[in-house]
Amino acid sequence: MAEKTKGVGPRIQAQYPRALPFWCTAHQLNRCEVHASDSTLVRNRMGTVDRVS
């Protein structure tokens, strides 16, 4: 729901302005991994996965 310009999040915010934005568990885990790691490989992992898939 955190996307600013498209997707489900903005639609929910338009209908329910008091709705709180949230990250799904998978995104939260990814953000924690990236934040906790000093490794460039871990930080760039999601970009690599997007390019491959």
Q: How many residues does the chain have?
A: 53
User: How do the domains of the chain map onto residue ranges?
Assistant: 23-53
The pLDDT value given to residue 15? 92
> For 21-36, what is each residue's pLDDT tens digit?
777 787 788 778 777 7
| DSSP 8-class letter at 20 | P
DSSP H stretches of helix in 1-53? 8-15, 25-36, 40-43, 45-52
* pLDDT at 1 exceeding the cut of 50: no
Q: Which residue has the higher pLDDT, 7 or 19?
A: 19
pTM, two decimals, is: 0.39
Cα–Cα distance between 9 and 4 in angstroms, integer? 7
The pLDDT value given to residue 4? 57
The distance from CA 22 to its chain's CA centroid, rounded to whole angstroms, is 9
